[in-house]
Amino acid sequence: MTPDIPEHVDDDALWPALPFAAWRDTGETLLRWTQIVGKTRLALAPMMNHWWQVPLYVSARGLTTSLMPYQGGHVEVEFDFVSHELQLRTSDGARRALPLVAQSVADFYRAYMALLRDAGITVSIWPVPVEIEDATPFPEDERHRTYDAEVVHRMWQALLHANRVLHVFRARFGGKASPVHFFWGGFDLATSRFSGRMAPPHPGGIPHVGDWVMREAYSHEVASAGFWPGNDAFPQAAFYAYVYPEPAGYATRSVRPTEGYYDTNLREFVLPYEAVRTRVSPETAVLEFLQSTYDAAADLASWDRPALERSYTEP
């Protein structure tokens, strides 16, 4: 049988409210800060298929690059959303930190690059944000400067729950699947399943991202799902699911739970976070959404499900 998270009554405080109005300004700033740090990983880590060397990962204290090689050893950079500092740790035992406080993107960029230099790490990044319309270079961005520590901590708590449930969902698949990772371009936590077949070239068109980048990301048929805390284009936290290429009939399929729906602007299925966190078992609701949207994608696209999916037998 397939393992599920057991039914239980959750304390609502463990699935915190994430009203977009409270998150918006901090989110705009933190998006750019994570891109600055994420671009360090892009520069230092060896290339992997679908850009899997690029994302960050949810950690016990925030978001981490995981271990990255550099000319003198190995380094890890972590956004600590408990003590609210950016921590840099190297394999030779060195540790440096920057406080995460209200400051402009430009100030954060200068301080972070100085931190790397002080640790003996030479790295060059393209200092421009991606996947958003406002491409103000990091060294020039004095506008985005909000950091509300309480809001950030609540967002991270939501990421912890999403990370746990996405790992359960990922474990059900025996075919090629991505890690559960945090893409700093879109500021979302995601995992992807692959059919094993090539996909048609992606049309691209993502702001300030080369079309060739998107074609590598979507080189094979994929069903992806994840969580994001919202942005101006979609001003609410939500779980999402989509498939590329999208098969005929996907948008009209019914999914579970009933609060899930297909957003014609995003071209994705969406399950509002607020509808999840107020349930008796939020985990069950999210797993139903992930499974039913995948079922729709895999069935309509004629994936070889018996070969790709895993079954478990209890001992």
pLDDT in tens, 180-224: 999 999 999 999 999 999 999 999 999 999 999 999 999 999 999
Query: Is the same domain home to 261 and 293?
Result: yes
Would you say residue 11 lies in a domain?
Answer: no
Query: Is the same domain home to 30 and 179?
Result: no
Q: Which amino acid is at 232?
A: D
Query: Is the same domain home to 216 and 110?
Result: no
Query: Is the same domain home to 119 and 174?
Result: no
Q: What is the pLDDT of residue 2?
A: 42
Please provide the average confidence, as pLDDT, over all residues in the chain: 94
Would you say residue 177 lies in a domain?
Answer: yes
Where a domain ends, among 121, 140, 159? 140
Contact 220, 196 (CB under 8 A): yes
Would you say residue 10 lies in a domain?
Answer: no
Would you say residue 13 lies in a domain?
Answer: no
pLDDT higher than threshold 50 for residue 52? yes
Would you say residue 4 lies in a domain?
Answer: no
Would you say residue 115 lies in a domain?
Answer: yes
Where a domain ends, among 140, 167, 198? 140
Query: Is the same domain home to 128 and 188?
Result: no
User: In terms of Cα–Cα distance, which of 270, 267, 265, 196 is closest to 226?
Assistant: 270
Query: Is the same domain home to 131 and 153?
Result: no
Q: What is the pLDDT of residue 3?
A: 43
Q: What is the pLDDT of residue 270?
A: 98
pLDDT in tens, 103-138: 999 999 999 999 999 999 999 999 999 999 999 999
Q: CA–CA separation, 152 vs 18, rounded Å?
A: 10
Decide: pTM greater than 0.75: yes
Q: What is the pLDDT of residue 312?
A: 60
Query: Is the same domain home to 105 and 209?
Result: no
Query: Is the same domain home to 128 and 247?
Result: no
pLDDT higher than threshold 60 for residue 314? no
Q: Going by C-beta distance under 8 Å and a sequence separation of 6 or more, which residues neighbour residue 160?
A: 58
pLDDT bin (cut points 50, 70, 90) of residue 4 is very low
pLDDT higher than threshold 80 for residue 160? yes
- The one-character DSSP state at 247 is P
Query: Is the same domain home to 59 and 187?
Result: no
Q: Going by C-beta distance under 8 Å and a sequence separation of 6 or more, which residues neighbour residue 167?
A: 180, 191
Higher pLDDT, 13 or 177: 177
Q: What is the pLDDT of residue 7?
A: 42
Where a domain ends, among 117, 140, 163? 140
Q: What is the pLDDT of residue 310?
A: 86
Would you say residue 7 lies in a domain?
Answer: no
pLDDT in tens, 24-46: 999 999 999 999 999 999 999 99
Query: Is the same domain home to 47 and 196?
Result: no
Would you say residue 130 lies in a domain?
Answer: yes
CA atoms within 13 A on the CB side of 34: 29
User: In terms of Cα–Cα distance, which of 239, 259, 240, 246 is closest to 297?
Assistant: 246
pLDDT higher than threshold 70 for residue 174? yes
Query: Is the same domain home to 114 and 197?
Result: no
Structural domain that includes position 304? 149-308
Domain count, the chain: 2
Query: Is the same domain home to 212 and 112?
Result: no
pLDDT higher than threshold 70 for residue 1? no
pLDDT higher than threshold 60 for residue 301? yes
pLDDT in tens, 250-295: 999 999 999 999 999 999 999 999 999 989 999 999 999 999 999 9
Q: What is the pLDDT of residue 158?
A: 97
Q: What is the pLDDT of residue 253?
A: 98
Q: What is the pLDDT of residue 11?
A: 46
